[in-house]
Structure 1
Amino acid sequence: MGCDGGTIPKRDELVRVKQKPEQKDKDAEREFRWLHCTLTQQRLQEPIAMCGMGRLYSKQSLIERLLEKEKMPEMSEHVKSLKDIKTLQLTPNPAFTEEDKTEGLLDTRHAPYICKLIGLEMSGKFRFVALWSCGCVVSERALKQIKGNSSSTCPLCQTPYSVEDIVVLNGNEEDLELMKVKMEMRAAKRKSSKKDKKEAKKVEIKTETDESCASTVVTEKPSTSTSSKVKVVANPKRLGTANAMQDPELKRLKNDFSVAKDPKASDVYKSLFTSHKTEKEQERAHWVTYNPFYN
């Protein structure tokens, strides 16, 4: 049957061949990654955060997962605390409307955020980077142009940053390998900073201790045994008071002092005391001391 009239059948018509696997729509996949949370696969909600690998998250969903201590998916296993994420400072797109939130082709819609410097939309068509030091987001093209003309400071908020602070958002496989290295560099830098702070604090405490010790006097006096000595730490103020009490002149004045015998005191001053002769010869008792009359 068939093949009459000079028709020639093709191989596909006679032999069943294995069907090719369905290929992913790269544009739809790219759009999904830029508009949806990596953790919940739902649309991104502000505030938006990123991890060290440059993936985007709804910060609220990420915090809830950390509080519940649930196991993270494989691509987010490195996120263990809030130190492993950074809140992004994004620039809203004035052209983005509610109609753009409906499902459709990427070419016919506007992205919700743009580069503040040159106006490129953050839709996945252009490479965008975020600075870990401040969280500002700009296009990679704008950062390269500005970096060639100025120092390593954020063009939006003027915060200094280093090479390991530049994180590529939703990068390819090569970018992910580089982001992993930068993430390890930041962790090592953070540990080194903590260690330096602890050492500085120890030095400060030691300095304060040395200053307090310098304000004391250390004396040595022999103990009961002839082979050892006992150190006695005394406060200079207390030591001075004790030496004053041991002064023989002070002891003499304390025991033998009398105003009536003081040659420097005036007669008017001496008459104020009961030791004066006028007080001894009075006919009534003293109104304060009630001392007996003298004969």
Structure 2
Amino acid sequence: MHPDPPSSAHLQPGPPSTSRSGPRASGTGGTPEPTSGPASAPRRRIRAELLIVLGLSLGQSGVYAIVNLAEKLTRGPLAAQTTTLNPVLNDRQYFDLTYQLLNIAFALVPVALVLYLLGGHGVSAFRRLGFTFEKPLRTVGFGVGLAAIIGVGTLGVYAGGRALGITTALVPAALDAYWWTIPVLVLSAVRHAVLEEVIVVGYLFIRLRELGWSTPAIVVSSALLRGSYHLYQGFGPFIGNVLMGLLFGWFYTRTRRVMPLVIAHALIDITGFVGFALIGPAIGIGG
């Protein structure tokens, strides 16, 4: 679940190249959430805030992905092309490590912005989002279960997309083999999980609800946004991530807990990135 095409700035920069109102029961997860945003945030301001946050993060990625897909379609069949998700950023080991870590750190700045915007007035942004480890066994259990469902589904959608010629070949990891390769891939997976689930699910659901959107409309919009920034991989990943977004959105409406989604997403990406890095070279691909 890698959000950006290679040209997106916030994940792959070119190296030298809420009135506090009473809490509301939040579904089965039990995390309280204010029923509305602060009185000082009218709808116009919320709309502007949404555009800014998405323009700095995954909305930007979606635009890049659409353009990147268009460019690939002009080159030839998608089935004949390859997309690399974690490429080398510099041919010298420690500069590559530096760029990789900077890439991960700066990609999380929009998450810090969202936490800042949702916090204050005595309200914890982490609790509003359900981005906490309350009931840890249940939280982790939900995460693992969702990961298993999505993982199997992802393999099926990818295989179907390749067979239909609407998905590029994916190389989840192409980093050189250094002592830091696996830790960086794990950090990259966690980065994607936190960035996507906090913004595309938690933040977006809160703000669109404050704007008066219906729950079905929010779920569908979130899912379509998730799919959009995967279009650079082809149409198969777009479809797969829309389906993932629908499941994750439904889960969030039931629990108001974003942490299980972060765990599930991280497990899926860690399996893909690290598994490919370890096994790929042994079977003659990647590495």
TM range, normalised to the smaller chain?
under 0.3
Which is richer in helix? 2
Greater RCO (CA < 8 Å, at least 6 residues apart)? 2
Higher alpha-carbon Rg = 1
Q: TM-score, normalised by structure 1?
A: 0.25
